[in-house]
Chains A and B, each alone.
Chain A
Amino acid sequence: MKQPEEIFEYLKNEFGEDQLSFESGDIGQPWILVPAALIRNVSKFLRDDSELRFNTLMCLSGVHYEKEEELGVAYHLHSTELKHTIALKVRVPIDEPNVPSVESIWKTADWHEREAWDLLGVKFDEHPNLKRILLPDDWEGHPLRKDYVQQEFYQGITTGE
């Protein structure tokens, strides 16, 4: 069992000093900020390394950082074998929201990435079936963005009150 700080040090040795950074708020849990291009390699390493063995992705959530004009994806991992957990985060500019998919590493990501695409518009590259999951296929926009404006009509029906 490793603490998040130890996991960060361990990853730093593998992926280089200046690629990853360790961040935290005033309360709650810390996370490791990973460049989008590296997320798949880091994930694979986290899953397969014998000292980490993160065999399960608990949760994948999209976030819209309005002030920074960025979209974020938070990955919460845990290991049922070694019983430790870690959070990773990727941030990408909103006008080019491409993040490599981790579907091939953890199957949980399949539906969660579809949800993040549906509600926030994060584009997951190489996802086998990236289409809307909760909303109808022909819905416009991504509702969980902070600046979302609901379409007035959906198939001729008013959506307002």
Chain B
Amino acid sequence: MKEIVHDTENRQMTINMGPQHPSTHGVLRLELDIDGEIVINVRPNIGYLHRCFEKHAEKMDDYSKIVPYTDRMDYVSAMNQEHGYVLAVERMLEIEVPERVEYIRVIMAEMQRVASHLLGIGTFGLDLGAFTPFLYLFTEREKILDIFERTSGARLLYNYFAIGGLIKDVHPDFKKDTAEFVKTFRPKIKELNDLLSTNRIFVQRTANVGVLPAKVALNYGASGPVLRGSGVKWDLRKNDPYSIYDRFDFDIPVGQGEMGTLGDCWDRYNVRVLELEQSLRIIEQALEDMPDEGDVTEAVPKRIRPKEGELYARTETPRGELGYYIISDKSGSPYRVKARAPSFVHLGILPAISKGALIADMVAIVGSIDIVLGEADR
């Protein structure tokens, strides 16, 4: 029989968190090197949800057939994914889309941002033991999904944006429903702050945990709320405006280190909460200025054949910078499509911010970067 030797000097141990773990938001496996409760090192392992998006895209015989695939990357903010892709292809084709389409797209994208942040914030609270806010937030998210469903027919994966326009016009009560949602939702943000943001237990679990300094964030290519949580004022809607975002008046909330250190989990969380209000502001302005008449399918090209060339187009999704690098070789299908997903980049930051944390804090750190594995694995 083999003799078991107890190594009392080396207390280090490696354990797996995931791939089946309630707080990994999908199938993510973290290899943790631990010494007691302290995390010494973490190695994220991804790929469990890899569906060969890029290979599929190359094999499609039409650029427009790729849109439903983009839905399935970040499946909780599908509108934003579609927006990034159609903008990239429209830039390659050098076509202008009608005013009304731009406005509907912006409203949809911002509604989706609210829905996605509600999910992100809700599950973040849930991971840390706060069950009630999750239910309140999901009730609100449901109202947005209802509006999306009435327009596109789907609740999560819409296939609603078309290259050059939209698949069809919005439903007749769209303006009324959306305005009603904005009105009823605004007071709920205050409720959320009372219930969760300033909750003592929640603050103690998130403040001073997983601190990401701005310099590290930039070097790791962080974007979206993760970067802004570290105090960097960078939002592609303002800094590299696309669509019609330059027409709206809104602020970019950044982390201030109010509850602890600048760039901690609470700051990243709070940036998302503050962004809810900014999205509502954009929706209100867009609803006001949106032209009532116009054919949303008039600029949709019959044949999509971009000239030879390549571009990298980026948009601001709820999670950060989503980039599409597309190479066209004049044929009907792209030569290469690469999606640069914010979740993929942010997962790479995990080892840098979790050394020395407690195992229980890993849950807070993973929740605070708000990942969607569908997007990381593609």
Contact = CB atoms under 8 A, between A and B. Distances in A.
Nearest to B306: A27
A61 B348 contact: no
B336 A76 contact: no
A45 interface: no
A58 B323 contact: yes
A31 B312 CA distance: 11
Interface string A17-37: 000000011111101000000
B91 interface: yes
Interface stretch (B13-21, B44-52, B131-139): B44-52
A28 B325 CA distance: 10
Given A27-B308, A57-B221, A59-B323, A119 B314 contact: no
B93 to A, nearest CB: 8
Given A134-B46, A134-B50, A134-B377, A59 B325 contact: yes
B274 to A, nearest CB: 20
Contacts of A107: 216, 219-221, 348, 352
A76 B340 CA distance: 11
Interface string A53-66: 00111110101100
Interface string B310-351: 111010000001010101100000011010100011011000
A28 B54 contact: no
Interface in A132-157: 132-136, 143-144
A106 interface: yes
B282 interface: no
Contacts of B345: 108, 111
B55 interface: yes
B184 interface: no
Q: Which of A28, A74, A87 has the most CB of B within 10 A?
A: A28
B310 A59 contact: no
A133 B46 contact: yes
Interface residues of A, number: 34
B50 A135 contact: yes
A59 B307 contact: no
B189 interface: no
B348 A108 contact: yes
Nearest to A55: B218
Smallest CB-CB A-B distances: 6 pairs: A25-B309, A108-B221, A28-B311, A28-B309, A27-B309, A61-B338
A133 B47 contact: yes
Contacts of A27: 92, 94, 306-309, 311, 328
Interface in A96-116: 106-108, 110-111, 115
Interface string B55-66: 100100000000
27 contacts: A26-B307, A26-B308, A27-B306, A27-B309, A28-B309, A28-B328, A29-B310, A31-B310, A55-B219, A56-B218, A56-B219, A58-B312, A59-B312, A61-B336, A74-B312, A76-B325, A76-B340, A80-B239, A83-B239, A87-B312, A107-B216, A107-B348, A111-B347, A134-B377, A135-B50, A143-B55, A144-B58
